[in-house]
Amino acid sequence: MNKPTCGVMVKTFVKIPLYLVLGLVFVVLAAALVLPLVFDPDDYRPEILGAVRKHSGRELVIESDMQLHILPKIAVSTGRIRLNNRSGFGLTPFATADKAYFQIKFLPLLSGRLEIKKIVLNGLKINLKRRKDGQTNWDNGVEQSVQRQKLPIPLTHDGAGSEPIKPSNRFLTASIMATKVDVLNTEITLEDELSGNRVEIRDLDFVIDSFLFNKGFSATIQGTLNNRRPRFRQTSTIRFKLFLNDSLDQVRIENFRWSSLFEGAMFPREFSQVELQTTADFNLNDKLLSLSDLRLNSGPISLGADLSVSWIAAKPTISGTVSLEKVSPRELMKIAEIRYPPGLGNSLESLEGKLKFEFGESQLIVRDMALLLDGNPAKGHFTVTGLGPGRTRDQPGETHESIVEFASASSQTTYQGALNFSALTLNGLLAEQIQVAFQGTPDVVRINQRVKKFYDGQFTGSVVITRGPRPSVSLSQALTGVRIGPLLQNLGGQTPIDGNLQATISLFAQTTNMDEFSSTLKGNIEAILSNGQVHGIDLLGLVSKSKATAEEGAAKPKGLSSITRFDKLDYRASATNGIVTSTLLRGTSPLFDLDGKGTIDLPNNEVSFRLNLAIKKNTLTATGVDISRLNRLRVPIRVSGTLSSLNYQIDARSVMEDPRVREATRKLEQKIHEKFGIDVEGILDQLF
């Protein structure tokens, strides 16, 4: 046998592609000639309309003939189509589309199977409506089966109880398997007459790749939402991969990623961007949704969660575990328009940990809280009941200016709970064994606090915060056996006063702003300082240096330090319109007694006190320190300035009225006259 030559082999390899090309051309030409003879889309118009009527209870109108396209791909297209509304919802169509395009597989068509490869809907507009009676136009009013059924075409019934539709002379089995879907330039409008709200979704695109049961397909959704009540704008992009079984009862969504940008007064700038990702599993038979590996990031919040959602009952229930990965309570207080107390320094910076929760039937239960606040362990729980629509939602057209106003709109909401801290440091102040209990409504909040170990003593208190047009705060606090010196040292680095403090405070003020707080403060203060000492103030030294007590040749008291010691200092005061007026100021020590009165003007930051210092008879500051020359002397002292800078001054004219001082003055005048021959009688009195 002769071997093929090189030229013959070349010709053979050239002919094979040529034959393939000619074969494809022949198939295309045959399809162009034969397909219009075996398939006319309008033959199936009655069946399509009947199927839509049966499964939706609505009339589908295809305003123009359906067109069959052979090149470049086999497809069927329509012009404008509309799906009419349910009875009682007006003449506006439920949905319209400018154009519908269905790309069809050729070979299955020859064997009687209609397999759609691609669906494109352009200019889709959906009009959703809820009437004041609660009825919606998206409720079909017909029973639907969750079992997947292949739709035979033609159908034998129009779904409305009429005579069977006469079958066409062709029979196809429809399938949307392996279908790519593009829904472009979509608009969705929701008109809610019950709440007065209106939601508009514009520029919505929905794109999925090949659709196959039991195999995943990727999808992308993006668009812009405009909401009337509360007024905000949201631009979102959603991407995910979806798996759907052929029974339509198991759905899995993987790599779900949602990113949104919010604009409007309801959403503070810190929360304008939100990112969420998760994996979701739907069991439609058990009506159960599971969200695993959920991650949410927005402003000062970063958290993870594993959630379970059940909608067996009329209202869904949600439960799961939440992990707080990054939360800043300080930032949240700022966003919620809660004034951060200056005395807390750099505390409340971070909160992390885990908690479990259950939500359903208008109730939220949070339990098993295991948190770290600024690195300090905390445990607790709380319950919120009466969650539901806000009280302003029955007033169409009203808008919410902030997220706080919107969130607190429900007057039926109540909440209560407790937090326990083993230790907590606020601005350098260490508190141990802390218990905090709270309860309230959106209008009134009550917080009870107890600190079992607080600088060798204890602290208890309660705070009541009232919201509304005239918000206010009232507090009642008690300190028992607290070492005030170390407390002040940790607070500001200095110890101007020390001792064991026992105090009760009961105050009330308006809280629209700090100025109003100061000017509306009222209440009572009682404090007792035992075994105390005041640093930087030497009252006896101040007296000894006064010219009013100077005598020729007299030695000044020695051994005095810049500390004034008290056995007991008792202070009581009442506050009215921010002015704190003392009703009792009395101190005792081995050296002297002290009493006085005065005011602290908080709005103007002014301090004005008049103290009376009475030196005790035959007293010693310490062993060998004699202040007998000051015995029984009563010296008035004026205290003035601001809370951060106080001035102390002897009231010299009042001192001059002391008989012993007058006698010393006369002796001094006499010595001057004897030695210098100068008559100074009365001059020294005038100097003071």
670 shares its domain with 573: no
Please state the rounded mean pLDDT for residues 367-381: 91
Please state the rounded mean pLDDT for residues 201-224: 82
Q: In the predicted model, is pLDDT for residue 448 greater than 70?
A: yes
User: Which of 102-116, 310-324, 534-548 is the least confident region?
Assistant: 534-548
Report d(CA 595, CA 571) in Å as an integer. 10
Please state the rounded mean pLDDT for residues 563-589: 89
Q: In the predicted model, is pLDDT for residue 263 greater than 80?
A: yes
> Residues of the chain with pLDDT > 90: what percent?
23
Report d(CA 547, CA 562) in Å as an integer. 19
Any domain includes 266: no
Report d(CA 183, CA 124) in Å as an integer. 7
Please state the rounded mean pLDDT for residues 164-178: 47
Q: Torsion over CA of 624, 627, 632 and 637, rounded to 10 degrees?
A: -130
Report d(CA 254, CA 540) in Å as an integer. 80
Domain boundary among 409, 444, 479: 444
Q: In the predicted model, is pLDDT for residue 172 greater than 70?
A: no
Going through 350-396 in order, the beta strands assigned E by DSSP cover 351-360, 363-373, 376-385
| Banded pLDDT at 321 (limits 50, 70, 90) | very high
Domain span at residue 562 reads 455-655
Task: Say what the pLDDT of residue 159 is.
Answer: 37
**Tens of pLDDT, residues 46-94:** 877 777 777 777 888 888 878 877 777 788 888 888 888 888 888 889 8
Q: In the predicted model, is pLDDT for residue 163 greater than 50?
A: no
Q: What is the DSSP letter of 438?
A: E
Any domain includes 292: no
72 preceded by cis ω (within 30°)? yes
Any domain includes 54: no
Yes or no: say if 638 and 651 are a contact pair by the CB < 8 Å rule: yes
388 shares its domain with 476: no
- 275-281: which pairs have CB atoms within 8 A and are 24 or more residues apart? 279/252, 279/253, 279/254, 279/255, 280/251, 280/252, 280/253, 280/256, 281/250, 281/251, 281/252, 281/253
572 shares its domain with 662: no
Those residues with Cβ within 8 angstroms of residue 459's Cβ, 6 or more apart along the chain or in another chain: 431, 449, 450, 451, 477, 478, 479, 480, 482
475 shares its domain with 369: no
User: Is 252 or 210 the better-scoring residue by pLDDT?
Assistant: 252
Report d(CA 582, CA 532) in Å as an integer. 19
Please state the rounded mean pLDDT for residues 459-463: 93
411 shares its domain with 435: yes
User: Is 232 or 496 the better-scoring residue by pLDDT?
Assistant: 232
Domain boundary among 444, 465, 497: 444
User: Is 90 or 38 the better-scoring residue by pLDDT?
Assistant: 90
| Banded pLDDT at 26 (limits 50, 70, 90) | very low
478 shares its domain with 570: yes
Task: Say what the pLDDT of residue 396 is.
Answer: 39
368 shares its domain with 388: yes
Report d(CA 45, CA 495) in Å as an integer. 92
Any domain includes 82: no
Q: In the predicted model, is pLDDT for residue 194 greater than 80?
A: yes
Q: Averaging pLDDT over each range in 386-395, 404-413, 429-438, which range is the top one?
A: 429-438
Rounded alpha-carbon distances, angstroms, from residue 229 to 24, 174, 265, 399, 400: 60, 43, 11, 5, 7
**pTM listed for this prediction:** 0.63
User: Which of 176-190, 221-235, 267-281 is the least confident region?
Assistant: 176-190
- Write down the mean pLDDT value for the chain: 75
| Banded pLDDT at 461 (limits 50, 70, 90) | very high
432 shares its domain with 497: no
Task: Say what the pLDDT of residue 112 is.
Answer: 65
> Residues of the chain with pLDDT > 70: what percent?
67
| Banded pLDDT at 303 (limits 50, 70, 90) | very high
Q: Averaging pLDDT over each range in 121-125, 174-178, 653-657, 681-685, which range is the top one?
A: 121-125
User: Is 407 or 303 the better-scoring residue by pLDDT?
Assistant: 303
Report d(CA 451, CA 459) in Å as an integer. 5
* Closest to 457 (Cα-Cα) out of 441, 439, 477, 476: 477
**Tens of pLDDT, residues 481-533:** 999 888 877 766 666 678 899 999 999 998 767 677 888 899 999 999 998 88
Any domain includes 637: yes
| 3-state SS class at 362 | coil
Task: Say what the pLDDT of residue 417 is.
Answer: 95
* Closest to 365 (Cα-Cα) out of 376, 373, 356: 356
Q: In the predicted model, is pLDDT for residue 20 greater than 50?
A: no
Phi-psi region at 71: left, alpha or beta (left = phi > 0; alpha = psi -120 to 50):
beta
User: Is 590 or 129 the better-scoring residue by pLDDT?
Assistant: 129
Q: Averaging pLDDT over each range in 59-63, 327-331, 601-605, 626-630, which range is the top one?
A: 601-605
Domain boundary among 392, 416, 444: 444
Going through 193-245 in order, the beta strands assigned E by DSSP cover 197-211, 217-227, 232-244
Q: In the predicted model, is pLDDT for residue 627 greater than 60?
A: no
Any domain includes 59: no
* Closest to 388 (Cα-Cα) out of 157, 606, 195, 594: 195
| 3-state SS class at 140 | coil
Yes or no: say if 209 and 218 are a contact pair by the CB < 8 Å rule: yes
623 shares its domain with 545: yes
Report d(CA 232, CA 225) in Å as an integer. 8
Report d(CA 358, CA 315) in Å as an integer. 13
Q: In the predicted model, is pLDDT for residue 342 greater than 60?
A: no
Any domain includes 325: yes
Q: In the predicted model, is pLDDT for residue 365 greater than 90?
A: yes
Q: In the predicted model, is pLDDT for residue 619 greater than 60?
A: no
Number of structural domains (the chain) is: 3
409 shares its domain with 460: no
User: Which of 8-22, 66-80, 192-206, 457-471 is the least confident region?
Assistant: 8-22
DSSP-assigned states of every residue in 240-299: EEEEE-TTS-EEEEEEEEEEEEEESTTS-GGGSEEEEEEEEEEETTTTEEEEEEEEEEET
335 shares its domain with 386: yes
Task: Say what the pLDDT of residue 136 is.
Answer: 87
Report d(CA 339, CA 511) in Å as an integer. 9
476 shares its domain with 558: yes
User: Is 588 or 157 the better-scoring residue by pLDDT?
Assistant: 588
Any domain includes 682: yes
